Structure 1
Amino acid sequence: MKQLLLDVLAAPAPSLENYVAGPNTEALAALRALGPARAVYLWGPAGCGRTHLLRALSDRRDAVYLDSRSPVSAYRSVAQPDESSARPRLVAIDDLHLLDEPRLACVFSLYNRWRETAATDMALSLIVAGELAPGNLELREDLRTRLGWDLVFRLDVLSDAEKTDALARQAASRGLQLAPEVLNWILTHYERDMRQLAALLDALDHYSLAAKRPITVPLLRAMLAEQPHPSPNQSYSPLS
C-alpha cells in the first residue's frame, strides 16, 4: 500500500477549465478573453489560485512562466530580448512579492516593453500575480504604478461550501461517490488547496481499489496513517 501511494499520479495540470472560480468568475472571464497588448495583475492570499491561473495561461509554446526561483537571466531575456532571441507573446510573472531587486527591475522593464509594443505586431500579453494589492506592496513607486496600467483583480479563496461542492464534482468526474461525512472529514482535517485536494482524491481512489473497500472515513484514515510521516496537511501535489 505504501508503495502505491508513493507512486500516485499527480493532480491534473492546471487549466482554465479545471480552475474552480467560485467568487472569481469576473477574473476568470477576463483571462479567457485575454488578447495581445493586455496586462493583468492578480492578487490574493495563498490558496486563491494565482499560480494555477498563471500556469494555465502559460501552457503554450509562445509563453513563458517565471517566478522567484527562475534565474535572473530568464527575466532579462524577456524584458530586453536581443534580435536573435525568441520573443514570447505571453509572459506570466508569479509571486511578485517574493522577487528581489534585480528581478523587479526586469519586471519594470517588461512593463515598459509591453506598453511600447502594444500597437505593433510584437504586442504581448502580460500577467503578473502577487499576494497583496499594488498599494500594499513594498515596491518602488514607478513599478507599483505600472501594476495598475491595465486590469487588476483580487482573487478570493473558496468558501467551505464552494470547496465541498467542487470536491464532490471532482470526485464524481472520477466515478467516485463520496458520502457527506467523507467530504466533511477531508475539509476539516486536510489541506484545503484545491490542487492538493484533487491529488488526494486520486490517492484515495487508488487506495480504495487496492484495498477492495468502499471509500469511508476509516479507509481515509487508514490511508493517511500508512504514510511515512502521517500528517493531515500532507500534500500529494507537486505544484507549489
Structure 2
Amino acid sequence: MTQQLLLDILPGATPTLESFVAGVNSAALESVRQLTAGHALYLWGSAGSGRSHLLRARAQCPGGHYLDARAPAHWLHALALDEDRSLALVAVDDVGELNDAAQAALFALFNRWRAAATTPGAFALLTAGDRAPLTMPLREDLRTRLGWDLVYRLEQLTDEDRATALQERAASRGLKLSDEILHWILTHHDRDMGRLTALIDTLDHYSLERHRPITLPLLKELLAHPSGTQPSSPHHGS
C-alpha cells in the first residue's frame, strides 16, 4: 500500500478554524474567519497548504455549502439558479479542476453573488485553487471573477511549525512525541497538516488498543497495518 493511499484512508477530525495551523498564513485565516455576506475571497496555494481545511471549516456555518471539483455540476447550478434557496456561504474548492459545465455553474454563481451583494439575500463566496486567479486553466470570464474581491496566497508551513503543531495535538491527547518520532513523520510523509494530524490521532488509538507506548517501531507497525488489524504472531503459552 502506498504512503499516499494510507494517508487518504486514515480517519481525521472535522476541520475547524481553531484547528488550522496558521503559521505565516494568519492574515488569510483571519480573512476567512471574518468573511461576511456580500464579500468574496479566493485562496490559492500548493497541495497541503490548507486550502481545503479552511473551506470545509468555514462552510460549516448555518446555510453554508461546500463543493469541490468532484461534485456534480448540477449541484453548483442549483445553488446558482435556485433563488428560493437561502444561502449564507458557498465554498467551491479546486476550481482549476472544474469541467466546462461546472465552470458555467460557478460563473452563474458569481453573478448571483454580485447581484445579491447589497440585498437581504447576500451571501459570502469562498473559492480556492492551486494558483493565482489569472493563471488558472479556466474560461476567461471566470478567471477575472475569481479576483473580484480579496485574494490570499497560502504558504507552506515550515517543519518547525509542523513539529510544534503535532506536539500540541499530541499534548491535547495526553501524549508526548519523541524527537525521533517527529523527525521520522516529517521526513517520511506529505506536508498536509490534516493528514499528519489524523496520523497522530490514529497512532494514539493504535497505542491504546495494543496497550503499548508510542515508539517508532509502533508507528511503523501501524503504517504497515493501516486497517488496524493485529499482525499475526506466533502464540506463546503461559
TM-score normalised according to structure 2 size: 0.87
Contact 1:78–1:87 (CA under 8 A) maintained in structure 2:
no
| Structure 2 counterpart of 1:101 | 100
| Structure 1 counterpart of 2:162 | 163
- 1:207 Cα offset (Å): 2.0
Moved more, 185-194 or 154-163: 185-194
- 1:9 Cα offset (Å): 8.1
| Structure 1 counterpart of 2:186 | 187
Moved more, 38-47 or 212-221: 212-221
Match of 1:48, SS state, is coil
Q: Deviations over 1:60-110 (max 9, x none)?
A: 33111111121122111111114xx42212111110000011111111111
| Structure 2 counterpart of 1:44 | 45
- 5 Å matches for 1:211-230? 211-227=210-226
Count of paired positions: 220
| Structure 2 counterpart of 1:35 | 36
Contact 2:56–2:66 (CA under 8 A) maintained in structure 1:
yes
Whichever residue aligns with residue 61 of structure 2, its letter is R
Point out 4+ residue stretches in structure 1 off by more than 6 angstroms.
Answer: none
| Structure 2 counterpart of 1:233 | none
- 5 Å matches for 1:125-140? 125-140=124-139
| Structure 2 counterpart of 1:65 | 66
Q: Distance in 1 between matches of 2:177 and 2:140?
A: 50
Match of 1:158, SS state, is coil
Give the share of equivalent positions with the same residue, in percent: 50
Match of 1:129, SS state, is strand
| Structure 2 counterpart of 1:200 | 199
Whichever residue aligns with residue 111 of structure 1, its letter is F
Match of 2:60, SS state, is coil
Q: Distance in 2 between matches of 1:75 and 1:203?
A: 34
Q: Distance in 2 between matches of 1:181 and 1:106?
A: 49
| Structure 1 counterpart of 2:89 | 90
Contact 2:10–2:226 (CA under 8 A) maintained in structure 1:
no
Q: 1:162 to 1:86 in 2, by over 3 A?
A: same
Q: 1:226 to 1:107 in 2, by over 3 A?
A: closer
1:12 paired to 2:16: no
Whichever residue aligns with residue 37 of structure 2, its letter is P
Whichever residue aligns with residue 213 of structure 1, its letter is R
Contact 2:24–2:157 (CA under 8 A) maintained in structure 1:
yes
RMSD over equivalenced CA pairs, Å: 1.8
Whichever residue aligns with residue 216 of structure 1, its letter is T
| Structure 2 counterpart of 1:123 | 122
Q: Deviations over 1:137-164 (max 9, x none)?
A: 1222221111111100001111111111
